[in-house]
Amino acid sequence: MLSLADVEAARERLADVARHTPMDHSHTFSDWTGAEVHVKLENMQRTGSFKIRGASNRIQQLSPAEKERGVVTASAGNHAQGVALAATRAGVDSTIVMPEYAPISKVKATEGYGARVVLHGEDYAAAAERAHEIEAAEDRTYVHAFDDEAVMAGQGTIGLEIVEDLPEVDTVVVPIGGGGLISGIATAVKGVNPDIRVVGVEAEGAASVADSLRKGRRVELDQVDTIADGIATRAAGAKTFEVIRERVDEVVTVNDREIAMALVALLERSKSLVEGAGAVAVAALVEQRFDFDDGEVIVPACCGGNIDLNVLQTVITRGLIEQGRFLRIRTVLKDRPGALEHLIEVIAANRANIYAIQHDRASKDVALNAADVELDLETRGHDHVAELVASLEEHGYEVEILA
């Protein structure tokens, strides 16, 4: 099984490759939770993710013959970029299989680091199946995204940085996809101090490890569904699951709504751009999915910042809706001069700001003498939303909340 010595050896190999990423003492999250929160900003790593650590550690240990034949892997995006850059730096040819619906930003970045990208399947499992076919056909070495001790050891160097920068840490909170990251970090921090608690976090729509721990055996999901594409895996690895069972204290889940809200909070309060998978640790902390004491020193690991801009826009909007800061409503107006102006006056009197208006006189859903109106509004919280809707209804408008 993976050891602290493996992680320490990996750190030596990565000295010229991976950045020692900072930790940010978050006054906002500390105030919200009562804990002392230090966010590990691994989203600031090269390639925007921790994956460069494990990929580089694995590729640096290839034999000359393996380097000559090249490597292949499957990834939803971050491991792809890590392998592509590590392979290019080592002069090794790389082929990466990514799901067909992988964020375009991750596909382009992977190609930019020098890899040949093949798009195949709906998720990581399907992409991995195709990658193994290429492995056999082209005699390449497969660089597993998580179920490889060299990869796990590389990811574990994050844990060494945490305990060195913050020796007083009580709890480390880590995202879980296939389990390589948390296996490495748990091995590192508990190797240094067995009393440090390690909490794993999965997305509710891809919670294979939580289910596996309940059943006492590794479980593979039929499908995954989450905005946290970086941890959208059907099952943990065989090797990572054994490390998780032995060294991880607790595994919890968060849903997409909570992930979106954490992402928005990190962006707005910490000025840190993270992807869905990178926000789950903060989401679990803010939502108090695990128990902790006042003043407990907690480090949530934000391990990826490679979010597609289209996805970011959607996630931000969802987060604002959940906070009552964005409202989409529908109502019906009499089709006569001044009707829209009066509606706008009521909205302005309630201090809501209009983003957009859609005014449709030809809608088949309203009478011939009426107009269908949809409005996107900036609001200031759930109480403000309630006040605005009540005021509109008092003025005779029937309001349908769309978002």
How crowded is residue 270: how many other Cβ atoms within 10 Å of its Cβ? 18
Q: What is the pLDDT of residues 184-225, one digit of tens each?
A: 999 999 999 999 999 999 999 999 999 999 999 999 999 999
Question: Looking at the structure, do residues 247 and 330 belong to the same domain, yes or no?
Answer: no
The pLDDT score that the predictor gives to residue 290 is 98
Last-in-domain residue among 255, 289, 319: 319
What's the 3-state SS for the chain? CCCHHHHHHHHHHCCCCCCCCCEEECHHHHHHHCCEEEEEEHHHCHHHECHHHHHHHHHCCCCHHHHHHCEEEECCCHHHHHHHHHHHHCCCCEEEEECCCCCHHHHHHHHHCCCEEEECCCCHHHHHHHHHHHHHHHCCEECCCCCCHHHHHHHHHHHHHHHHHCCCCCEEEEECCCCHHHHHHHHHHHHHCCCCEEEEEEEHHHCHHHHHHHHCCCCCCCCCCCCCHHHCCCCCCHHHHHHHHHHCCEEEEECHHHHHHHHHHHHHHCCCCCCHHHHHHHHHHHCCCCCCCCCCEEEEEECECCCCHHHHHHHHHHHHHHCCCEEEEEEEEECCCCHHHHHHHHHHHCCCEEEEEEEECCCCCCCCCEEEEEEEEECCCHHHHHHHHHHHHHCCCCCEECC
Q: Domain containing 389: what range?
A: 324-401
275 and 137 belong to one structural domain: no
d(CA 182, CA 248): 8
Mind listing the pLDDT tens digit for each residue in 38-91?
Answer: 999 999 999 999 999 999 999 999 999 999 999 999 987 889 999 999 999 999
Q: Tell whether 274 and 173 lie within a shared domain.
A: yes
Residues 30/38, Cβ–Cβ less than 8 Å: no
Cα separation, 13 vs 290, in Å, equals 35
Read off the pLDDT band of 368 (50, 70, 90): confident
Q: What is the CATH number of the domain that holds 338?
A: 3.30.70.260
Dump pLDDT digits (tens) for 90-103.
999 999 999 998 88
In a 13 Å sphere around the CA of 319, the CA atoms on its Cβ side amount to: 21
Residue 154 has pLDDT above 90, yes or no: yes
Residue 229 binned pLDDT confidence (cut-offs 50, 70, 90): confident
- Statement: residue 298 has pLDDT above 80: yes
Strands 370-378 and 353-360, how do they pair? antiparallel
Conformational region of residue 70, where left means phi above 0, alpha means psi within -120 to 50, and beta covers everything else: left
- pLDDT for 46 equals 92
pLDDT recorded at residue 313: 87
Q: What does the alpha-carbon distance between residue 98 and residue 100 come to, in Å, rounded to a whole number?
A: 6
Q: Which amino acid is at 141?
A: T
Q: Find where tokens 């099984």 sit.
A: 1
Residue 360 has pLDDT above 90, yes or no: no
User: What average pLDDT score do residues 290-318 get?
Assistant: 92
Q: Same domain for 178 and 41?
A: yes
Of the residues 142, 172, 194, which one is the last residue of a structural domain? Answer: 142
Query: If we measure between CA atoms, which residue out of 263, 25, 283 comes closest to residue 173?
Result: 283
- From first CA to last CA, the distance across the chain in angstroms is 49
**Percentage of residues of the chain with pLDDT beyond 90:** 85
pLDDT-based confidence at residue 310 (cuts at 50, 70, 90) = confident
Check whether 22 has a pLDDT greater than 90. yes
* Residue 226 pLDDT: 92
Instruction: State the total domains in the chain.
Output: 3
123 and 261 together in one domain? no
Same domain for 186 and 218?
yes
* pLDDT in the model for residue 175: 98
Q: What is the pLDDT of residue 336?
A: 87
Based on the domain organization, do 153 and 137 belong to the same domain? no
Pairing type for strands 326-334 and 400-401 reads antiparallel
Ramachandran angles phi, psi of 329, nearest 5°: -130, 160
pLDDT tens for residues 371-388? Answer: 899 999 999 999 999 999
- From 319, 341, 374, the end of a domain falls on 319
Compute CA distances 391 → 16, 324, 330, 337, 385, whole Å.
62, 16, 15, 22, 10
Whether residues 76 and 153 share a domain: the answer is no
Tell whether 253 and 390 lie within a shared domain: no
One domain for residues 337 and 358:
yes
pTM of the model: 0.89
What CATH code is carried by the domain that includes residue 115? 3.40.50.1100
Evaluate if residue 367 carries a pLDDT over 90: no
